[in-house]
Each structure stands twice: as C-alpha cells, then as structure tokens.
Amino acid sequence: MQGTIIENLSGKKLSVLVVLLIIAQIVCFLIGGLVAPRPASSQNILGTPCRDIRINGSEPGGGKWFYSRGKGSCIPVRFEEFDNHHQAFQVVYVFQMPIPRANEVLDYSRWQQNLIGVLQVDITYHSQMEIAPKTKITLDARLAYRNKGDPDDAWKPYGASVVERILECSIDTNMEQYIYNCSTVPLFELGSLYHDYYLLNIRLPADTEKNINQGLGHITDLWLTVINQNGGFTKVWVSLKTIYFPIVLCILVWHWRRVNMLSRAPALLEYMLLALGSALTFLNMPLEYMTLAFDMPFMLLLGDIRQGVFYATLLSFWLVFAGEHLMIQEGEQRNTLKCYWRHLSAVGVGCLSLFMFDMCERGVQLRNPFYSIWVTEIGTKLALSFIILAGVSAGIYLLFLTYMIWKVFMNISAKRAALPSMSSARRLHYEGVIYRFKFLMITTLLCASLTVIGFILGQVAEGQWKWDEDIELEMTSAFFTGVYGMWNIYILALLCLYAPSHKQWPIEPSENSVSDEIEFARLPTDPNEMLSLTAFARKSAME
C-alpha cells in the first residue's frame, strides 16, 4: 500500500519540513509587525464654508466647483453674515483631499487602493430650535478629481448625488451654544485611488413645502473623516502575494501531476485539495499591480469575491477533510459530495447571503459612490443582521468542526486497540501515521479558529465607521499578514504531505505475520482509497 507522503516520509525529513513551515509562519507575523505600517489611516477635514452663487443648489452635478486651496479658491464666509438660518443653503462646504501636512502639499498614491468618507455634523443647541433625536438631512454632494500638473481649477466630475442621511443626536446639557452629540454618517466609498487629488462639495438644499432640511437647527461645521489603506501596507501585502502566488501554483501543478500518475481515479479529498489550491491561487493573484496603471474601481468588490470563494472552499474542505476520516456512515455513497450536502449547503447559503449583501453595497457603488445600505434604518438593521448572522454562523461552524475533529480522534483512538496484534513494522507505521494525523488535525483546528476570528474582527473593523458604535478596534498588520501567511503555509503543507507517495512501507517478517496479514485483509481495499489511515478508520463501519 503506497498511501501519501505524510504516511511514508521519514521522521527526520518531516521534522525539518515542520520547522521550516513554522519559521515561515513566524516571518509572516514579523513582517506585519516590524515592516508593514498600520493597515489604514484617517484624516479629519473641517469643511470650508463658501458662498454659493447658485440659487438653492440648482443644476445638481453642474456649475462651478468650489475649492479651498490654490489659485481661484473661494473665500470662506462667516455665518454671522446671515440673518436667518434658512439661508444656510447659500453655503457650499468644501473638502479638498488630502489636506497638507507641515506646509507640504500631499497627494494620494495609487498604492493606497481605496477611500471611504464619513461625515460628522456639528449642530449648536438653541432652546427655541431643539432638534428631534432622529432627523433626516438631505445633502447635495458632488465629487471631483484632478491630477498633478493640472491647473488648480481643472476639477473634473467624478460623481454626484442628492442623498438623505439620518442624524441621531442627543445632548447632555441643555445650555445655549452647546454642541449636540450627533452620529457619524457614511457618505461615499471609492474602490480605487487612481487620481492625485479629490474635491467634495456639499450643499444643504432647503424646501419648506417638501420638508427638506427643516428642523436641523443651527449647523456650525461639517467634518469629513476620510479613511484609506496605507500604501506601505499595500506594498507589503502585494509582496507576499507575489511570493506565494508562483509557489502555490507550482506545488498545485506538481500535486495534481502525481495524482494523475496513479492507476486509480482521484479520491474526493484530492479533488477538494485541487479546489482549495485553485481558490488560494485565485486569491494570491497580485492584481493590485494593475491598479497602478488602470483605474479599477471594482477592485474592492473583486477582492471580496476572491476572499468569499476562498472562504467557501476552505470551510467546505475542512468539513470533507474531517468527514473522510470519520467514516461512520456505512450506507452512504463514498467518494462523492453527496455525503456532505447538508454541511456544504449551509456553507453555500451563508456565503451566498454575504455575496448578495456585498452586491447591494459595493455593487451599486460602482455607479454611485454616495450610495450606502447603511443610510436608512431598515438598511442598517438589515446590514447589521447580515454581519451578526455571519459572525454567529462562523462561531457555530467552528464548534461543529471541533466536534467532528473530536469524533475523528475518538474513532481513531478506538481503532488503536487492534495495533498490539499487528507486526512491529505495521504497528509502528500506523502509530506514526496516527500521531502525524492528530498533529495535522490540531493544526487544522488552530487554522480554523484564527480564520473565524479574523473574519469576525474584519467585519467589525470594516463596519465600525458605518454603524457608528463605540468600538475601538484596530486590525494590526501583524494579524493580517500572519493569518494570510498561515493560509498559504497550511495549504502548501497539505498539498505536499497529501500528495501520493511512490514509496512502499516495509513489513518486517515475524511469527505473527500470518495472523497479521489475515487482520490486514479484513480492511477495505477500495481502489479509490487515498490513505491507509482512512482504510484503518473505516474498519468499524465494516464490522
């Protein structure tokens, strides 16, 4: 019986391989902790109020652009010039991004990948104009861009929309001139940072007949928080992809070539390994290099799709991997996915739900960067429900996988009672295989735990700017690079160790060899069997 490399590899060579993989994993964590900067950074920009020459924000998306720096910039106005708060529609709030630092003009880099804008409204309390706890605000928002070398007034339109947001405001002390504590609201999201400079113009149109922006009180300032991925982190992230992509691809081709050299048909686990390696290769493709030459606003959506495909394949593989070593269903069809349709359908429904949610958010943003599913109360509850459901599902999945692995351990431990009756060579062979398999299953459980934790924390870290909860959470670069390296190292180890072996493990002659051969003959001899351990574990089903 040939089996796989993990069953026939010598202990010395296996120890060297494990040490090299552990060193590679430590290096991935150190790269994120010592080399890469924070994954994202933010800037708070105070809106510059400029007098609007248009009438109540007419001609949305057209007309003059207002900017606060450079030749031809607008002159800021003071609200004392207005004798009536309803004249606030005559003001344009200008946000020119990025803001200078230490009197140095900065520009965005294409390495920074994306840009998210979150708006904060400062409203002054007046006893004669108290605002409701939940107030609708209408914004006439326009976004423009220009590049280095363009004239200061050469702003080109990027997107425009009249959007509505819900402000949730409260105040601790009802005293004049105090500022309300208002929630932040998501404003826009750009899937790429292809241009050097961006400009945002916001107007607050007013209409008493349509009840537009009525009851807002005295708005004193608008603050814009812009969040972008750090270019240094992107370079480290893409460098890891550039290294892992050819390695995983070569090992995958080598693994499948060895499988096709066998006389038998590929086993289910080998098909799942092929799918897992292909999903990881798809995830590893360094497509970020293309954003340096082309404007690709769909990169955020494409990145979510790639990660979703990988998650679905990885979660499905773990179920099949544990199930193929459990082997307690005697009557079910083997070597097919039909045995696991319940488990895989649950994974498929969860991933499909997240995909539909992502299409409703980032899919629509390809046409309108100001769209957000979080802007309405129903949309916010729906989005939070999706995220909470995904987090709970991930936790339940981890518990179920832990239970399956525990059952596998119990099943194999029960079979160890047959080892003393075997010859010394076969007994040592199976004991070594069992110890190696248990170590691999514990590693699988650790990888699954970190994956689930990373998924939940990633959802919370991404959404905390949008649902405006008091959650101080920052995903460190070391965690990102460590988990990403763990996926690659773990799958590379599986592809190497579960490749078909061309070695035959020896059988020492002994006085018990006849009875040993009779005992071994009782094991199933399926030509599609991949592992001698699997055949050993199946013995209970045959009995």
For 215-265, the pLDDT digits (tens) are: 787 888 899 999 999 999 999 999 999 999 999 999 999 999 988 888 878
User: What is the number of other CB atoms lying within 10 angstroms of the CB of residue 205?
Assistant: 17
Q: What is the band of 164 on the pLDDT scale with cuts at 50, 70, 90?
A: confident
97 and 201 Cβ atoms separated by less than 8 Å: no
- What mean pLDDT is predicted for residues 20-29? 90
Same domain for 238 and 298?
Answer: yes
pLDDT digits (tens, 9 = 90+) for 464-477: 555 545 444 445 78
List b or e across 469-484, with b for residues whose CB sees 16 or more CB atoms inside 10 angstroms.
eeeeeebebbbbbbbb
Higher local confidence (pLDDT), 153 or 382: 153
Q: What is the band of 540 on the pLDDT scale with cuts at 50, 70, 90?
A: very low
Higher local confidence (pLDDT), 497 or 529: 497
Same domain for 486 and 470?
Answer: yes
Same domain for 374 and 494?
Answer: yes
Our count of domains for the chain comes to 2
Instruction: From 229, 250, 273, give the residue that closes a domain.
Output: 229
Q: State yes or no: pLDDT of 503 exceeds 50.
A: yes
Same domain for 72 and 177?
Answer: yes
DSSP run (H or E) holding 244: helix 231-260
115 and 42 Cβ atoms separated by less than 8 Å: no
Distance CA 91, CA 106 (A): 26
Which among 231-245, 261-275, 516-530 has the top mean pLDDT? 231-245
Instruction: From 229, 248, 270, give the residue that closes a domain.
Output: 229
DSSP string spanning 267-324? PHHHHHHHHHHHHHHHHH--GGGGGGTS--TTHHHHHHHHHHHHHHHHHHHHHHHHHH
34 and 477 Cβ atoms separated by less than 8 Å: no
Same domain for 30 and 93?
Answer: no
Instruction: From 229, 247, 267, give the residue that closes a domain.
Output: 229
Counting residues of the chain whose pLDDT is more than 90, the rounded percentage is 22
Same domain for 18 and 49?
Answer: no
- What mean pLDDT is predicted for residues 302-318? 89
pLDDT digits (tens, 9 = 90+) for 277-290: 999 999 999 999 99
What residues contact residue 149 under an 8 Å CB cut-off, 6+ apart? Answer: none
User: What is the number of other CB atoms lying within 10 angstroms of the CB of residue 307?
Assistant: 16
DSSP string spanning 43-107? EEEEPEEEE--SSTT-STT-S----SSSTTPPPB--GGG-SSGGGGGGEEEEEEESPPBTTB---
Enter the pTM of the model: 0.80
Q: What is the band of 81 on the pLDDT scale with cuts at 50, 70, 90?
A: low
User: What is the number of other CB atoms lying within 10 angstroms of the CB of residue 15?
Assistant: 11
Main-chain phi, psi angles of 5, to 5 degrees = -65, -35
Q: What is the mean pLDDT of the chain?
A: 78
Main-chain phi, psi angles of 383, to 5 degrees = -65, -45
- What mean pLDDT is predicted for residues 178-193? 87
The strand pair at 134-146 and 115-124 is best described as unpaired
Same domain for 251 and 376?
Answer: yes
Whose CA is closest to 21, among 339, 446, 510?
Answer: 446
Integer CA distances (angstroms), 169 to 103, 109, 184, 429, in order:
35, 36, 10, 69
Domain assignment of residue 101, given as a range:
40-229
pLDDT of residue 465: 54
205 and 57 Cβ atoms separated by less than 8 Å: yes
Same domain for 138 and 265?
Answer: no
Distance CA 423, CA 420 (A): 8
Distance CA 258, CA 55 (A): 74
- What mean pLDDT is predicted for residues 433-453? 77
What CATH number does the domain containing 369 carry? Answer: 1.20.1070
Same domain for 44 and 27?
Answer: no
Q: What is the band of 198 on the pLDDT scale with cuts at 50, 70, 90?
A: very high
> Which of 10-19, 175-184, 205-214, 506-515 comes out lowest in average pLDDT?
506-515
pLDDT of residue 315: 87
Same domain for 182 and 292?
Answer: no
pLDDT of residue 530: 53
Same domain for 413 and 303?
Answer: yes
What residues contact residue 120 under an 8 Å CB cut-off, 6+ apart? Answer: 182, 184, 222, 223, 224, 225
Same domain for 279 and 386?
Answer: yes
Q: What is the band of 423 on the pLDDT scale with cuts at 50, 70, 90?
A: low
Distance CA 139, CA 92 (A): 11
pLDDT digits (tens, 9 = 90+) for 113-133: 899 999 998 888 887 777 888
Higher local confidence (pLDDT), 524 or 369: 369
> Is the backbone peptide bond immediately before 98 cis, with ω within 30 degrees of 0?
yes
